[in-house]
Structure 1
Amino acid sequence: MANKFHHKNVRWRVWVADKSFKPMRLGTLVQSFRRRVKGFLPILALISLFTVVLVDSLTPAIAQIPRQEIRGVWMTNNDFNTLRERDKVQEAVNHLRRLNFNTIYPVVWNSGYVMYPSATAQRAGIQPFVMRGTDGQDILADLINQSHRKGLLVVPWFEFGFMAPPTSELALNHPEWLTRKRNGSETSMSAAGEVVWLNPFHPQVQQLIKNLVLEIVTQYDADGIQFDDHMSLPYEFGYDKYTVALYTQETKKTPPSNPEDPAWVKWRADKITAFMVQLNQAVKARKPKAIFSVSPNYYEFAYKFHLQDWLNWVRQGIVDELIVQVYRPNLQSFIAKISRPEIQEAQRRIPTGIGIMAGLRNNPVSMQQIKSQVRAVQERGLGVSFFYYESLWNSAPETVAERQDGFKNLFPYTMLRARIE
């Protein structure tokens, strides 16, 4: 029986009652115990220190990372039937809260028009596209108030950036603000149809955008502001008189005839970056904790074709949140884009998510495609935002109940984000 306690795998010393045992005095036992404990003290101290450091370093991560996960949805012009009615807003907010969303991005700048009462727009000769809801309410203020009561963040979205329709009051009233291609053309084709582009290098254009943004930040209890892939300029543009003169003044050269010339691309991209730095500083001066959110296309496309150097913005620390639009039905292509190193770099710095297409009125997206893409995003520790609210469960291949059950399964637990105060 005694031999079992002395098995070679047993590392603790055991006193065994056998013939070799000799009684020891209590004092001798105590001294022996003290000597053994004293020998272990340095080891115990190191273990204690390591434990404290480990717990201290992990606790903030556990507390912060879940609060930053993006589970968002854009509300577009197609959602105005919802936004203009208080009851529908309440229903929408309740649905999103029940399905464990945490952020809403409502459009406030689209087609050269604002979606809220704006003194800045009126001074520029632009009438609000939608000023009031059906009860005379400010639709943006109503959405913010109802969302905050349910714990959802609201980050107003400047959808069109420097882009506008050629027939808009903005374009017609201020032709000197428009830029052009080398052949003199002022328009290009986009998903919104034929558009013109405000000159992002023109100080009056910059002041207009800045004033509009500061109105939102100052007048509303918004949690931030968002700019997307249109806070940019297609690479063909920049051959207007103002920009040509500015480039010539700074470089002592005329702009290259090739719009893809690397130095010419970089000069224009750097100018847009400089404006975004100024815009960030202006926003933070009014509301230091406001979320400065950017939702561009994937980097290679954004920089090469739209002079939008958003990775540089992230590295300069002017972006608080990044949502990269990846609207691709093919899963393999989708995964390739969300696995890019620049997204991983941004993810290490700030809350980062992927924009996923939930469907269009004329192009519905199946719940299966949405699930597979969200699963790929979540496996990489990224957040998600859907384009757009109505297509979450309307104009879809499945029933409303099936769609809502599907989104509930995507986000099975609550994950609220910290509100700024």
Structure 2
Amino acid sequence: MKNLFILIIGLVLISCNQTNKENQNQTDTRFTFSTWIHADKTFDKTVWKNRFKHFRELGISEVLVGGNHEHLADIVALATNFKIKIHAWMWTLNRPNDTIANKHPEWYAVNRNGQNSLEYRAYVDYYQWLSPFHPEAREYIKNNVRKLAKIKGLASIHLDYVRYVDVILGADLQPQYNLIQSTEMPEYDFGYHPIAREGFKKLFDKDPMELEHPELSTEWRQYRLNAITTLVNELVEIAHSENQKMTAAVFPFPEMARQMVRQAWNNWNLDAAYPMLYQNFYRENINWIGFATEQGVRDVNFPIIAGLYSPGLREPADLEKAIRLAKEKGAKGISIFSADDLTEEQQAVFIKLKTELLNL
């Protein structure tokens, strides 16, 4: 009788497991269109209604809203009428003109030359990066997530700029700054905050600043990667404690992200990642979007939403190919930057594919 009871329990567990897998597979077949957009300083209900109506015509059902979050609750409430989900798009470590952070220069990232990111702004003026090593900076970022987590109805809190300054720019971006980055140049190599150096020295009896080639130290690179990873996973815990999902915009695939911006997103406990597959930044062809998508899907156990850059896909045929490749290689959707800037020809591609790929 005991053996019969055990057998019945086993069959029930197998059945439940199979049901869960079937439900997961059903969810996995859903493909979505989404977009990153910026919110205005004021909330105009009519403007947002027209915006959402237009997005639905394109098949876009998820919108990542950045900029002013003061009216996010109103945006979420309005979006439900159009069956659109809203994500809170948050700039994480790059905090340009942050009036609170600006009062604490010691919070900011430091490069290999010893320059503070608040005072030395690599590439562009809005690059003002906090250090993931400073405990008060980390707490400040956590508080930003806690505030967003209180907003009801969000599809996710969406992290962006959760990395270091680009130590290597994309090949097509370097000429814009009169650069040839064949090596990791010290002014763009960040993560040398005094707290980071002290912790590394305590662990390895070496100050990374005193290494002949710190950029070649695998331990020093991993040490910096870990600082970002632990921060992200702590933010995920905060979001999940409030029943909010956590997603992130990331560099194209984990190995590339590690090299270019010290970002090991395959170690993050995300609910989904949005790799920014802006092929024109790297002088790559459309097929590269498929390659990068496939690599990301292989490297993680959470959904991938392929980020596409509308100015780099001006030809309708290229845009259509990119969307089809993303789906073919395992992405659960695409996110365009930005639907506000699509040409009529690009909009026609979305309208065409929403019937075929979204069953709308």
TM range (shorter): 0.7 to 0.9
Look up the equivalent residue of 2:28 and give its one-letter code.
I
Shift of 1:379: 2.0
Secondary structure of the 1:222 match is coil
Q: How many percent of aligned residue pairs carry the same amino acid?
A: 21
Q: Deviations over 1:144-184 (max 9, x none)?
A: 111122222111111x321134x653453111111211212
Match of 2:49 among 90, 97, 104: 90
Task: Normalising by structure 2, report the TM-score.
Answer: 0.77
Shift of 1:381: 3.3
Using a 3 Å threshold, how does the CA distance of structure 1 residues 55 and 214 change in structure 2: closer, same or farther?
Answer: closer
* Structure 1 CA distance for aligned equivalents of residues 272 and 107 of structure 2: 30
Contact 2:297–2:303 (CA under 8 A) maintained in structure 1: no
Task: Normalising by structure 1, report the TM-score.
Answer: 0.67
Using a 3 Å threshold, how does the CA distance of structure 1 residues 337 and 59 change in structure 2: closer, same or farther?
Answer: closer
Contact 2:94–2:127 (CA under 8 A) maintained in structure 1: yes
Larger radius of gyration: 1
Contact 1:73–1:388 (CA under 8 A) maintained in structure 2: yes
Match of 2:163 among 221, 232, 240: 232
Match of 2:122 among 182, 186, 189: 189
Secondary structure of the 1:88 match is helix
- Residue 80 of structure 1: aligned partner: 40
- Residue 179 of structure 1: aligned partner: 109
* Structure 1 CA distance for aligned equivalents of residues 21 and 233 of structure 2: 33
Map 1:45-84; keep pairs closer than 5 Å. Answer: 59-61=22-24, 63-67=26-30, 69-76=31-38, 80=40, 84=43
Look up the equivalent residue of 1:65 and give its one-letter code.
D
Contact 1:100–1:413 (CA under 8 A) maintained in structure 2: no
Using a 3 Å threshold, how does the CA distance of structure 1 residues 266 and 56 change in structure 2: closer, same or farther?
Answer: closer
- 2:320 matched to 1:365? no
* Structure 1 CA distance for aligned equivalents of residues 18 and 267 of structure 2: 34
Q: Structure 1: where are the runs of 5+ without partners?
A: 1-51, 109-114, 118-137, 417-421
- Residue 322 of structure 1: aligned partner: 273
Look up the equivalent residue of 1:93 and give its one-letter code.
F
Using a 3 Å threshold, how does the CA distance of structure 1 residues 278 and 331 change in structure 2: closer, same or farther?
Answer: same
What is the alpha-carbon root mean square deviation over aligned residues? 2.8
* Structure 1 CA distance for aligned equivalents of residues 95 and 54 of structure 2: 33
- 2:229 matched to 1:273? yes
- Residue 239 of structure 2: aligned partner: 283
Number of aligned residues: 311
Q: Structure 2: where are the runs of 5+ without partners?
A: 1-14, 168-188
Q: Deviations over 1:111-165 (max 9, x none)?
A: xxxx234xxxxxxxxxxxxxxxxxxxx2x1222111122222111111x321134
Shift of 1:55: 8.8
Shift of 1:282: 1.4
Contact 2:313–2:319 (CA under 8 A) maintained in structure 1: no
* Structure 1 CA distance for aligned equivalents of residues 213 and 37 of structure 2: 38
Using a 3 Å threshold, how does the CA distance of structure 1 residues 215 and 365 change in structure 2: closer, same or farther?
Answer: same
Shift of 1:244: 1.8
* Structure 2 CA distance for aligned equivalents of residues 66 and 98 of structure 1: 21
Map 1:207-226; keep pairs closer than 5 Å. Answer: 207-226=139-158
Secondary structure of the 1:381 match is coil
Look up the equivalent residue of 2:103 and give its one-letter code.
N
* Structure 1 CA distance for aligned equivalents of residues 218 and 94 of structure 2: 23
Secondary structure of the 1:293 match is strand
Contact 1:66–1:415 (CA under 8 A) maintained in structure 2: no
* Structure 2 CA distance for aligned equivalents of residues 332 and 324 of structure 1: 15
Contact 1:102–1:415 (CA under 8 A) maintained in structure 2: no
Secondary structure of the 1:169 match is coil
- Residue 302 of structure 2: aligned partner: 350
Shift of 1:405: 2.6
Shift of 1:297: 0.6
Look up the equivalent residue of 2:197 and give its one-letter code.
V
Match of 1:297 among 251, 257, 278: 251
